[in-house]
Amino acid sequence: MNLIAAVDENWAIGNRNELLIRIPADHKNFRQETTGKVVVLGRKTLETFPQGMPLPNRTNIILSSNPDYKVKGAIVVHSLEELLSKLKEYQTEDIYIIGGESIYRQLLPYCDVAHITKIDHAYQADAFFPNLDEMPEWRITADSDEQVYFDITYHFLKYERITVQA
């Protein structure tokens, strides 16, 4: 499975249920990577989308502990076990975990690839992605040239899980 996120230099991903910054090239990369695929997200992340609607041209699977929560155009599951069971119906390489913080943390152990837009700036934040640079089992396997959006620089990074020898 894949994770995809934009993080700042402190691995922050959001503040007050909003993205830290909206970078058009990052959104384009996200669309290219996830269109036609399965996206897994939490309820709070869904509520940040336009009109709180699922992303078009993707299978949206939402994890919510509320047993009465329903979303038109999406599959809703209510536990990690139910989610993992549902995900068996799809090719693992077609599954993208898209947030938020608790979803990333719960599903990181099941993922092998992380597509990270690393922004060279520190923002005020209250939501964070796990710091892959501090985890010996994760390695950067691809790094784009430096990208620039106004005065902000960033890179598209690909991390892959490796087997760590004991």
Q: What is the DSSP string of the chain?
A: -EEEEEE-TT-EEEETTEES---HHHHHHHHHHHTTSEEEEEHHHHHTSGGGPPPTTSEEEEE-S-TT---TTSEEE-SHHHHHHHHTTS-GGGEEEEE-HHHHHHHGGG-SEEEEEEESS----SEE---GGG-TTEEEEEEPPPEEETTEEEEEEEEEE-PPP-
Mean pLDDT of the chain: 96
Say if 166 falls within a structural domain.
no
Please say whether the beta carbons of 156 and 29 come within 8 A. Answer: yes
Predicted TM-score (pTM) of this structure: 0.95
Report how many domains make up the chain: 1
Q: CATH number for the domain including 135?
A: 3.40.430.10
* Domain membership of residue 46 as a residue range: 2-161
Checking if the pLDDT of 164 tops 80, the result is no
The pLDDT > 90 percentage for the chain reads 96
160 DSSP β-pair partners? 113, 139
Is 11 domain-assigned? yes
Determine the pLDDT at residue 163. Answer: 78
Query: pLDDT tens digits for 96-138?
Result: 999 999 999 999 999 999 999 999 999 999 999 999 999 999 9
Largest CA distance in the chain: 48
In a domain, 76, yes or no: yes
